[in-house]
Amino acid sequence: MPNDLIIETRALSKRYGRKLALDRLDLAIPRGRVHAIVGANGAGKSTLFRILLGFMPPSAGDARILGKDSQALTPQDRSRIGFVNEEHTLPNWMRVSQVVGMQRHQYGRWNQQAFDGVIGHYHVLPEQKVGQLSRGERAGFNLALALAQGPELLVLDEPTLGLDVVAKRAFLESLLYSNAADDCTVIYCSHQMEEIERVADNLIILERGQLKNMSAPEEFTARVSHWVADVPFKGPELHTVPGLLEVQRLDGLHHYLVLDQDDGFERFLREAGARNVQSMPVSLDRAVNAFLAKNHAAPAAA
Ligand X SMILES: Nc1ncnc2c1ncn2[C@@H]1O[C@H](COP(=O)(O)OP(=O)(O)OP(=O)(O)O)[C@@H](O)[C@H]1O
CA distances 128 to 99, 104, 114, 270, Å, are 11, 18, 20, 66
Question: What mask of x and - would describe binding to ligand X in positions 33 to 52, judged by CB under 6 A?
Answer: ------x-xxxxxxx-----
Is residue 139 within 8 Å of residue 88, measured between CB atoms?
yes
Nearer CB in complex with ligand X: 25/124 = 25
- Separation CA 258–CA 228 (nearest Å): 11
> Could you tell me the smallest distance in angstroms from the CB atom of residue 149 to ligand X?
24
19, 109, 249, 267: which one contacts ligand X (CB under 6 A)? 19
Name the residue nearer to ligand X (CB basis): 47 or 295: 47
Q: Is the Cβ–Cβ distance between 221 and 281 less than 8 Å?
A: yes
Q: In this complex, which beta carbon is closest to ligand X, that of residue 46 or of residue 132?
A: 46
Measured from the CB of residue 158, what is the shortest distance to ligand X in angstroms?
Answer: 8
- Find out whether 224 and 286 touch, Cβ atoms under 8 Å: yes
Give the chain's end-to-end CA distance (angstroms, integer).
Answer: 41
Residue 233 interacts with ligand X (CB under 6 A): yes or no: no
Compute the least distance from the CB of residue 89 to ligand X, in Å.
16
The residue among 42 and 243 lying less far from ligand X, judged by its C-beta, is 42
Stretch binding ligand X (CB under 6 A), from 15-23, 135-143, 210-218, 237-245: 15-23
How many Cβ atoms sit within 10 Å of the Cβ of residue 23?
19
**Residue 18 engages ligand X in binding (rule: CB under 6 A):** no
Distance CA 193, CA 214 (A): 15
Q: How far is the CB of 116 from ligand X (least distance, A)?
A: 33
Minimum CB separation of residue 41 from ligand X in Å reads: 3
Check binding of 270 to ligand X (CB under 6 A).
no
Give the nearer residue to ligand X in terms of CB position, either 21 or 66. 21
* Shortest reach from residue 133's CB to ligand X, in Å: 24
Q: Output Rg (C-alpha) for the chain, integer angstroms.
A: 22
Least distance CB 186 / ligand X (angstroms): 18
- Assess 16 for contact with ligand X (CB under 6 A): yes
3-state DSSP of 31-95:
CCCEEEEECCCCCCHHHHHHHHCCCCCCCEEEEEECCEEHHHCCHHHHCCEEEEECCCCCCCCCE
CA distance 208 to 193: 19
Nearer to ligand X, 52 or 287 (CB): 52
Q: Which residues bind ligand X (CB under 6 A)?
A: 16, 19, 21, 39, 41-47
